[in-house]
Amino acid sequence: MKFTLIASAALALAPLSASAAPAPATPVGTWEVTLTGADQGTAYVTFEDDNEFSGYGLSRNSLGLFTLSGTWTVDAAGKLTGNYTETINGDEITGTLTGKVAAKKITGSIASTIGSFKFNAKREVPTQSISGVWTGATAVGKVRMAEFYQITPSAFPHLYEISGEGTSLLTGSYSISGVALVGSKGKIRLAAVSIPDEDEPSFSSLTGTVNVNRKQNVLKGTHSSGLPIKVALAASPR
């Protein structure tokens, strides 16, 4: 009688033990991705439950927004594999990715036609709005410029469009256009084109952290002339 009761209890508990096993981690949802390696940048990537993903971002080498698309699979151990296509500066880059999916992060590497990358992703969170009028004290090498920007939200979350103008003693007045991608903890990446009245356009790629309530925010990066560029940003009162 005792053995019968023990066996019955074991059978009753068996389904409960099996159902208590943790479910495999899934990447489904939107992630903020940091890229390092052959290029450096930030992207927002959405993994769909049909095993496809898409995204967009800005990088040190992109003249504007780049886009991503591809397919993915994850096994029971959380190993991520997939392939992707990136469109950047009018060129198409292909590659494969491998990584590890956990509940709050994805890490891994990418082998592409332009080199190797590492990536680190965390779940998307709300980011601050940088909409409004901003001023910038800009230095390209030893040349100083005064700039004004109007920043407005784009059709993509976390992405803003920039328009404005600037003046310098060297080049005179010029127009400005570009995009800025806002990440968590105030991180921002910006790509902008300056077009003087009678000269060739120049390109700037900048990164840093921004707080709209701070009196001055500093972004640093590279200019198409090869010189370093630094911009001290300030938001106009709201």
Whether residue 17 is contained in a domain is answered as no
Distance, C-alpha 29 to centroid of its chain: 15
For 66-112, what is each residue's pLDDT tens digit?
Answer: 999 999 999 999 999 999 999 999 999 999 999 999 999 999 999 99
SS (H, E, C) the chain: CHHHHHHHHHHHHHHHHHHCCCCCCCCCEEEEEEEEECCCEEEEEEECCCCEEEEEEEECCCCCCEEEEEEEEECCCCEEEEEEEEEECCEEEEEEEEEEECCCEEEEEEEECCEEEEEEEEECCCCCCCCEEEEEEEEECCEEEEEEEEEEECCCCCEEEEEEEEEECCCEEEEEEEEEEECHHHEEEEEEEEEECCCCCEEEEEEEECCCCCCCEEEEEEECCCCEEEEEEEECCC
- In this structure, are 119 and 181 located in the same domain? no
Q: Which residue has the higher pLDDT, 21 or 113?
A: 113
Q: How many separate domains does the chain show?
A: 2
**Quick one: which of 88, 195, 210 has its CA closest to 160?**
210
For 209, the token pair is: 């952290």
Whether residue 85 is contained in a domain is answered as yes
Domain that residue 74 falls in? 29-123
- Answer whether residue 4 shows pLDDT above 70: no
Percent residues over pLDDT 70 in the chain? 89
Cβ neighbours of 146 (radius 10 Å): 12
- Answer whether residue 170 shows pLDDT above 90: no
- Answer whether residue 165 shows pLDDT above 80: yes
The predicted pLDDT at position 65 comes to: 96
- In this structure, are 188 and 142 located in the same domain? yes
- In this structure, are 137 and 217 located in the same domain? yes
Span 7-13, mean pLDDT? 40
Whether residue 12 is contained in a domain is answered as no
- In this structure, are 223 and 141 located in the same domain? yes
- In this structure, are 112 and 90 located in the same domain? yes
- In this structure, are 139 and 231 located in the same domain? yes
The predicted pLDDT at position 172 comes to: 85
The predicted pLDDT at position 21 comes to: 55
The predicted pLDDT at position 22 comes to: 64
- In this structure, are 146 and 195 located in the same domain? yes
- In this structure, are 195 and 100 located in the same domain? no
- In this structure, are 136 and 76 located in the same domain? no
What is the C-alpha to C-alpha distance for residues 128 and 8, in angstroms, rounded to an integer? 58
- pLDDT-based confidence at residue 220 (cuts at 50, 70, 90): very high
Whether residue 1 is contained in a domain is answered as no
Q: Which residue has the higher pLDDT, 11 or 173?
A: 173
Mean predicted lDDT score pLDDT of the chain: 89
Span 25-53, mean pLDDT? 96
Whether residue 9 is contained in a domain is answered as no
Domain containing 70 — which CATH number? 2.40.128.120
Span 199-227, mean pLDDT? 93
**Quick one: which of 182, 65, 194, 100 has its CA closest to 140?**
194
Span 23-34, mean pLDDT? 91
- Answer whether residue 64 shows pLDDT above 70: yes
- In this structure, are 61 and 82 located in the same domain? yes
**Residues 173 and 193 sit within 8 Å (Cβ to Cβ):** no
In this structure, which amino acid lies at residue 55? G
Whether residue 201 is contained in a domain is answered as yes
Q: What is the phi/psi pair of residue 113, to 5°?
A: -70, -10
- In this structure, are 110 and 161 located in the same domain? no
Last residue of a domain, one of 84, 100, 123: 123
Residue with tokens 């310098």: 168
Last residue of a domain, one of 61, 93, 123: 123
The predicted pLDDT at position 9 comes to: 38
**Quick one: which of 61, 101, 96 has its CA closest to 80?**
101
Span 39-48, mean pLDDT? 96
Last residue of a domain, one of 123, 156, 181: 123
- In this structure, are 88 and 147 located in the same domain? no
The predicted pLDDT at position 198 comes to: 65
Q: Which residue has the higher pLDDT, 165 or 238?
A: 165
The predicted pLDDT at position 169 comes to: 81
Whether residue 110 is contained in a domain is answered as yes
Whether residue 16 is contained in a domain is answered as no
